[in-house]
Amino acid sequence: MLEGVGGTGLTVAGIRAEETARPDRLFADPLAAAFVAAAGSPPPRATSRQAAALRLWIVARTVFLDELITAACADGVRQVVLLGAGFDTRAFRLPWPPGVRCFELDTGDVLAAKQQVLTEQGAVAGCERIVVPTDLSGDWPPALRAAGLDPVWPAIWVAEGLLVYLSPGQVDRLLDEVTSLSAPASRLGLTYRNREPGDQSAPAPALRRSVAPDDPAGWLAGCGWAAELASAREVLRAHGRQVPAARPAGRDGSRPRALLISAALDPALARPRPASRRPPARVAAHSQLAVAVRPRPAGQPAAGAAGADHPLPTLLSQTLVAFTIEFDNESEHQIPQQTSRGPAAGARGPWLVSEAMWANFLRFVPAAGVPLGEVAALASVVNLAGLQRWGYITLGPGPADRRARPPRRDWAVRTTAAGQRAQSVWQPLTAGIERRWQQRFGTGEMAALTSSLRAVASQITLDLPPYLPVARVNPADHGAWFAAGRQAGRAGDTELPALLSRVLLAFAVDVERESPLSMVVGAGLLRVLGTDPVRIVGLPGGAGLSKEASSVALGWLKRRGYAVTASGPAASRGQLARLTRRGHQAQQDHRRLVGAVEQRWRDRFGADLISELASTLRALFTHQDGQQRIAAGLVPHPDGWRAHPPYLSRTQAMVDDPAGTLPHYPMVSHRGGFPDGS
């Protein structure tokens, strides 16, 4: 039955069957013998020293990876991916907790032959077993995601006896793809051999194409994995198995000839480049992907919390924008989309948009479509024409509407195929990012934050949308906000971004009812201008606005007599801007009004509650290991547009100092909804 299929896998199965038959066995694999029997003749049993070493290696790596998988599941991991699964039977023999999904990846012929044996044996998996026929030397991630892997949740990845049969370039690409599909807290188990290709002690030595890199831990760290190395002898001796004395060390004089590697995805490790086996010195110093959380320079004092003097709306704004950036980076990574910059430029798919478009509109459009009238108010707080132009929706008379000219409000809004793919990624993503924040900041801290937000939100009587609306510099139309809130109902009201948005919008309503300025202008461009001239080119970064939005806001301030511009002196390049006396007064008035509204909120909601809310928000910006804790989520994927010029410097600035760089009040752009000035 298995003739010509999975020869190396049969050798491994034979050794596992032998181990299972031992009275002092270190594991039991009852199905291994069935695979050997199905081959028609057992693999030849060599008695050489090399064959004995191979048996020790197979037994050790089986025990090592069994324990790694079991420990990961005990810690809550529920996705197991076996790369090059062959005749692995862990889905049938390990003690699985409820909810585990085990994905087995290998070529179709191997998996089909394996299934024949399993069917004949009446084998029943102890978890949800999902086979994924694919070629691991090619483009396998789409098949795995289509089979149900959710990159938002942690996974344990196992490559047992696989890597030596891939070329070095294929190994690097495999690691990079695994990393791209891994959420924080994911685990990795690898086996690798150090010997030269002429080594005859491994199965099918002629097929071997690579050896372990010189620095396996450094190689893995380059993709964000914190690794620990072990040898077969260490594992076996730890389990009381006597092993022969070791032969002299390899040519490097120290390393074992075979490595057992366990690793955990560590958000604190920089991921500046795709996986590479080259020494770090060969990485170009000007790499476009070198965005990382960097330690504070020596001598710079460590504050307890950055932005300790920020008012409540700034804390709400910066926390919301940080969550949105992490959401957007992940959705870009998972959804085929177009961008104007970076490696996705010109890719097939819809144009890239931000969380606002999902939260305020696309989440309300079912696959069957919805009459425009039922979502018209929501459409007013996004960019409906943009969503149509960007490829997410279609808008027109419904197919069942036989009227010659049905009114526009009766037209049907439907998601395109690309829009539905995006919805399938967005729908679970908020919960996934919230789980990351629980791991990053602690379950207790996040529970305290959401509890405070809910306590305030429950006392707000305004109908408000689930996310900040697309904004302009003119004072907002609060009536449009309220209408959108009524159509949205309580959608997402337990989600962190919706709680942050609704509390922030309620604060903005209270300020804007008494101010001639919108929060976008008052907490944005007006805040960073002064009576002394400053270069206009630096205003977008300071205000957290895009260049276009900054230009529009500056024009608005000039037309109303709040600011003036002039050419710089000969030694200075570009235009300068400053506040007029009227603008300086408006700046002071706006600052006082924000403080007065915050004091009223203390009287209205309770001083203890508002203090607790502000305290839990500030805690996210406290320093740990030389950086603000919230910075870890701002690091983009290497293939993301935020990791490439011209946005790279802005991204690094936000990572270096979130409290000093994130906007004090977001201007959600009509060009996709991005709230951070991108």
Instruction: Quote the CA–CA distance of 237 and 225 in Å, as a whole number.
Output: 27
Nearest C-alpha neighbor of 137 from the set 182, 103, 167:
167
Residue 38: predicted pLDDT:
87
- Strand, helix or coil at 10? helix
**At which residue do the structure tokens 């024009």 appear?**
555
Residue 42: predicted pLDDT:
59
**At which residue do the structure tokens 């085929």 appear?**
336
pTM, 2 dp = 0.62
Residue 294 contacts residue 651 (beta carbons within 8 Å): no
Residue 8: predicted pLDDT:
72
DSSP single-letter state for residue 493: T
C-alpha distances in Å from residue 590, one per residue of 229, 460, 595, 597: 58, 23, 9, 11
Instruction: Quote the CA–CA distance of 295 and 299 in Å, as a whole number.
Output: 11
Instruction: Quote the CA–CA distance of 271 and 375 in Å, as a whole number.
Output: 41
- In this structure, the strands spanning 225-230 and 128-133 are unpaired
Residue 45: predicted pLDDT:
57
- In this structure, the strands spanning 156-159 and 101-106 are unpaired
Instruction: Quote the CA–CA distance of 654 and 660 in Å, as a whole number.
Output: 8
Instruction: Quote the CA–CA distance of 1 and 535 in Å, as a whole number.
Output: 77
Identity of the amino acid at 62: T
Structure tokens at 42: 């057992």
Mean pLDDT by 10-residue block, N- to C-terminus, for the chain (678 residues)? 59 91 93 88 60 88 95 91 95 93 94 93 94 92 91 92 86 90 91 59 49 81 88 89 67 63 75 38 32 48 61 97 94 77 55 92 93 92 91 88 84 92 91 92 94 96 94 86 92 89 96 94 94 91 86 92 82 77 96 97 96 96 90 88 85 92 90 78
Instruction: Quote the CA–CA distance of 121 and 105 in Å, as a whole number.
Output: 21
Residue 515: predicted pLDDT:
94
Nearest C-alpha neighbor of 246 from the set 234, 238, 230, 259:
234
Residue 297: predicted pLDDT:
46
Instruction: Quote the CA–CA distance of 657 and 659 in Å, as a whole number.
Output: 6
Nearest C-alpha neighbor of 529 from the set 567, 575, 490, 562:
562
According to DSSP, the residues that pair with 82 across neighbouring strands are: 104, 158
Identity of the amino acid at 51: A
Structure tokens at 322: 């940080």
Residue 450: predicted pLDDT:
96
Structure tokens at 125: 């998996």
Hey, what domains does the chain have and what are their CATH numbers?
Answer: 49-277 (3.40.50.150), 312-661 (1.10.10.10)
According to DSSP, the residues that pair with 192 across neighbouring strands are: 259
Residue 43: predicted pLDDT:
55
Instruction: Quote the CA–CA distance of 129 and 172 in Å, as a whole number.
Output: 27
Instruction: Quote the CA–CA distance of 381 and 542 in Å, as a whole number.
Output: 26
Phi–psi pair at 234, nearest 5 degrees: -60, -45
Burial tier of 368 (Cβ tally within 10 Å: 0-12, 13-18, 19+): exposed
